[in-house]
Structure 1
């Protein structure tokens, strides 16, 4: 393994720790707003792990996953989190 691959492996390990700690927090908390925010953390950490992995492993859909994550991860969670925080009021 090259030093760059070692660095990426360490980055993936740190992101995995953040993902697991977010999962534990979701399971332990009862606050709906906290669950909504942490669900974004989990989504973005999964996307970051995949995109970091694609830096050293050739894949044909890496660019498409990044675009889909930007669309689905940017617009939809913002709208749903606003509905959760306002408790459905308009």
Structure 2
């Protein structure tokens, strides 16, 4: 393994630890707003792990996944968070 691959492996390990701690917090908390925020954290962490992994493992769909994640990860959680905060009121 090259030094770059070692750095990426350490980064993926740190992100995986963050993902697991977010999952534990989702299971332990009873606040709906905190669960929504933690669900976004888990989603973004999974995307970040995948994109970090594609730096050393070229795939034909890596760019498309990044674009789809940017659209789904940027627009939809913002709208759903606004609905959760306002409790469905318009």
Report if TM-score (shorter chain) is over 0.5: yes
Cα-Cα RMSD:
0.4
Measured after TM superposition, the shift of residue 65 of structure 1 is 0.4
Q: Which runs of 4+ in 1 moved over 6 A?
A: none
Please show how residues 11-90 of structure 1 align to structure 2 within 5 Å.
11-90=11-90
- Gaps of at least 5 residues in structure 1 are none
Q: TM-score, normalised by structure 2?
A: 0.99
1:58, distance to aligned residue in structure 2 (A): 1.2
**CA positional deviation for 1:78:** 0.3
Provide the TM-score with structure 1 as the length reference.
0.99
Q: Any idea what SS the aligned residue of 1:55 has?
A: coil
Shift of 1:75: 0.3
Aligned residues: 90
Q: Where does structure 2 lack aligned partners over 5 or more consecutive residues?
A: none
Residue 55 of structure 1 deviates from its aligned partner by 0.3
